[in-house]
């Protein structure tokens, strides 16, 4: 991140807030191209801001900021951060600062603020509450054709995934059969990136930040994504009340499809995102394998 971009962001945010910014400290933004800052304001106040970069990724980030502002402006709940101000023309969104305590670790890195089982229970509680929220108008639709995802994946070259061929010959037909059983008749609000560094524990819920991927879709999406992330963090707990085989088959297939077909950027961030996609796919398929009693898919 350049000093020029930081200074430009500070100017935009001061104009948006209508007050001076005493300090504007960059925050690690994971895989997003958005510029993220913790702002120090007068009177000891603070806030967190996301700004669309002045680069080739600007339009993509702007689209996500529009979705995020739409969700946060429509919803008020213990698991939704307060939106302070957003402006599409300025390409910025400012929310309350949740502080530095209570954040869940990303992957296997970092410390758990509470025992992992307690964190998982808060995650399930929040995912259920999100599903029950009214859907803000104008959100995009999620993935279609999930039950037939392995029909599409089967036509791709799986070699880059590092999947064992013997495992694929044995398990591929079972994945196709299990995915075909997945169906949902009700579409709900989906956070879209419900895991790890986007979750902060507060009052028995997890406050979910980064709603830029929010959409209308499958009710099981958020809880399953969290379950796969928990597995990657070494926490083997399953969400209650879900038939896991079809879900793991569907989302394992979707992750494999995305890994093999998305146009990954050649830079460090793009390769990190690509590697995470592969590891997440393998984790989902490993969970499926455990449930049916076969070996891991990794070659």
Share of the chain above pLDDT 90, in %: 72
Using alpha carbons, list the distances in angstroms from residue 286 to 31, 133, 265, 277, 299.
24, 32, 27, 14, 12
Question: pLDDT grade, residue 109 (50/70/90)?
Answer: low
Over residues 136-147, the mean pLDDT reads: 90
Over residues 260-288, the mean pLDDT reads: 91
Q: Distance between CA 101 and CA 53 in Å, rounded?
A: 28
Whether 2 shows a pLDDT value over 80: the answer reads no
* CB neighbour class for 108 (10 Å; exposed up to 12, middle 13-18, buried from 19): exposed
Beta bridge partners of 93: 50, 86
Residue range 62-97, pLDDT digits in tens: 999 999 999 999 999 999 999 999 999 999 999 999
Using alpha carbons, list the distances in angstroms from residue 52 to 33, 55, 127, 213, 292.
8, 9, 28, 15, 45
Sheet holding 23-26, edge to edge: 23-26, 35-40, 46-51, 92-96, 83-87
Q: Distance between CA 20 and CA 41 in Å, rounded?
A: 7
Q: Distance between CA 257 and CA 253 in Å, rounded?
A: 6
Q: Was domain 3-96 assigned CATH 3.30.200.20?
A: yes
Block residue for tokens 């949740």: 98
Using alpha carbons, list the distances in angstroms from residue 221 to 73, 91, 217.
22, 28, 8
Whether 44 shows a pLDDT value over 50: the answer reads yes
pLDDT of residue 137: 95
Instruction: Give the pTM.
Output: 0.92
Distance from the Cα of residue 176 to its chain's centroid: 25
pLDDT of residue 1: 47
Domain range annotation of the chain: 3-96, 116-292
Half-sphere exposure of 158 (CA within 13 A, CB side): 23
Over residues 167-182, the mean pLDDT reads: 94
- Same-fold call for 3-96 versus 116-292: no
Q: Distance between CA 197 and CA 7 in Å, rounded?
A: 26
The H or E element containing residue 231 is helix 221-232
Question: pLDDT grade, residue 277 (50/70/90)?
Answer: very high
Q: Was domain 116-292 assigned CATH 3.90.1200?
A: yes
Average pLDDT, the chain: 91
Question: pLDDT grade, residue 259 (50/70/90)?
Answer: very high
Over residues 137-166, the mean pLDDT reads: 90
Over residues 110-127, the mean pLDDT reads: 91
Task: Determine contact, residues 181/128, Cβ cutoff 8 Å.
Answer: no
Coil, strand, or helix at residue 93?
Answer: strand
């Amino acid at each position: 991140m350049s000093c020029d971009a930081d200074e430009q962001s500070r100017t935009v945010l001061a104009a948006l807030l209508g007050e001076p910014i005493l300090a504007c400290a960059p925050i690690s933004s994971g895989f997003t191209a958005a510029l993220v800052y913790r702002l120090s304001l007068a009177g000891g106040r603070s806030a967190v801001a996301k700004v669309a970069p002045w680069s080739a990724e600007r339009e993509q980030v702007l689209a996500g900021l529009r979705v995020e502002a739409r969700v946060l402006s429509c919803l008020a709940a213990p698991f939704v951060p307060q939106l302070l101000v957003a402006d599409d023309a300025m390409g910025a969104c400012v929310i309350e600062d949740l502080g530095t305590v209570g954040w869940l670790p990303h992957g296997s890195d970092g410390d758990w603020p509470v025992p992992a089982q307690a964190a998982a229970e808060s995650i399930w509680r929040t995912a259920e509450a999100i599903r029950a929220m009214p859907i803000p108008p104008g959100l995009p639709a999620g993935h279609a054709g999930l039950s037939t995802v392995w029909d599409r994946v089967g036509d791709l070259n799986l070699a880059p995934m590092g999947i064992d061929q013997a495992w694929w010959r044995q398990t591929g037909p079972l994945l196709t059969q299990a995915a075909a059983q997945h169906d949902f008749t009700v579409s709900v609000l989906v956070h879209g990136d419900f895991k790890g560094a986007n979750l902060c524990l507060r009052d028995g819920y997890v406050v979910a930040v980064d709603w830029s991927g929010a959409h209308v879709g499958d009710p099981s999406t958020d809880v399953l994504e969290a379950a796969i992330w928990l597995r990657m963090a070494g926490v083997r707990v399953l969400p209650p009340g879900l038939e896991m085989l079809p879900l793991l088959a569907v989302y394992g297939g979707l992750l494999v499809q995305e890994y093999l077909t998305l146009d990954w950027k050649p830079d460090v961030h793009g390769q990190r995102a690509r590697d995470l996609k592969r590891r997440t796919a393998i984790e989902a398929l490993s969970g499926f394998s455990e449930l049916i009693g076969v070996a891991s898919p990794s070659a």
